[in-house]
Structure 1
Amino acid sequence: WDLQKEALRALAAMTEGSEAATSVFVEYGGVSMLHQVVASPSVPVKTSACKVISALVRSRKLAHRLLEDHLLGKVVRLAFFDDPPLQCDAMGVVILVLQHADMSMPVISMDVSSLRVAEEEAAAKAGAHEGTSLLEKRKGVRTNQVPPGDNVLQGIEFMLVSPYEDSHLQASRALYLIASHEDKARAKIGASGTLVPRLIEMASLNGL
């Protein structure tokens, strides 16, 4: 996986803040490549893919495109993996998209259940995976177990109830941006029934 990681690292550096380089990346099929690598069994490769996507979504136009073609949905699915750095990088992409003021409702309205079902079908075809070898663990390879979760707010909730403080911080940042833009978005947070109580718990002296 090292070659993939280094290539993705170079692409992230190339596209960061460069409209010309980003245009070349898109022209040569970079977005299609990202669809493939976010599905990699290697967590470090998934994380490296998030770095490239983070560079792309700083452009509102590209952020909207990646939402429309479901790449952003695939990133949201990564927030449900029990891996704090991967969770935080995935939610970091979402945070960058949310910084575009008119993207809050499109982001929280995304339904990624079809992506989850596709993952489950792919895992079923691959067959049951009995454990992970030591070599695979060293390489950050995951089994084909499919995590639950169908939308951004569920991903944020998953991170908030995890045992990882870094995940709590990143999820709270995402909620702040969602709540900052639209009344409809704030209503969605309140309607979840779990997000506000968890925020209150974390804000209290006994919350952590």
Structure 2
Amino acid sequence: MKKKDKKWKFPKRSPLTYLLLILSVIVLFLAIFIPIQYVEYYNQNKVVPFETETKDVDVTHGSLSSLPDFNLLVTCTDYIDKKDTEDKQNQSSAKFRVSAYKNDQSDEKKVGNIKVKLAMCSNWIGVNRTYQFSSALTLYESLEKAQSNYRSATISGLPDLPVKGKLPFIHIDSIPLYIYVSYNTEENGKSKSHHYILKMNYNDYIEGATGGIID
């Protein structure tokens, strides 16, 4: 008499085991899905300051102190957040004073044709507001002269701070200032062009400003 083949059966598992399995799948899915959403959102709202202006030139990134051939003075005189004022129609704006003065290298290298463009940019919320001076800056002999002879700039169209992104945990409470500086030097009969992108954080440029400053 032939023995009957035994049918293979899944081992019995408790409901808790199946629940843990389902939860593991959900956690794995979220661990993959959520970062992808944030990466896509960041890429959609990513801002590259002065991307067009610097496309075909070599650029040095740094701070105001990175300029080797002269000093640049940038002061925020007014930062108006419209949500803190009675004017609800217009957007927030920032006012700046910009001037340049000599250092030890300026005369030796014959610095000239100093051009400056300002931009307030922020990733995650896609903010990119710019201001470009129409002509080159004058290079003054001293800090005192630069402080009293400046160029004014207003960057408008800024969002009211803080800004919340469309995804959780995205919270922007300040917007940095980027400064594109281009200039020429002439040394030993040779002319050379220089290009810098300088960054100032909110706390660096806002000190001393007035009008709706955010604490």
Same fold (TM over 0.5): no
> Which protein is bigger by CA-based radius of gyration?
2
Higher strand share: 2
Band the TM-score falls in, shorter-chain normalisation: under 0.3
RCO higher in structure (CA 8 A, sep ≥6): 2
Higher helix share: 1
Using structure 2 for the length normalisation, give the TM-score.
0.24
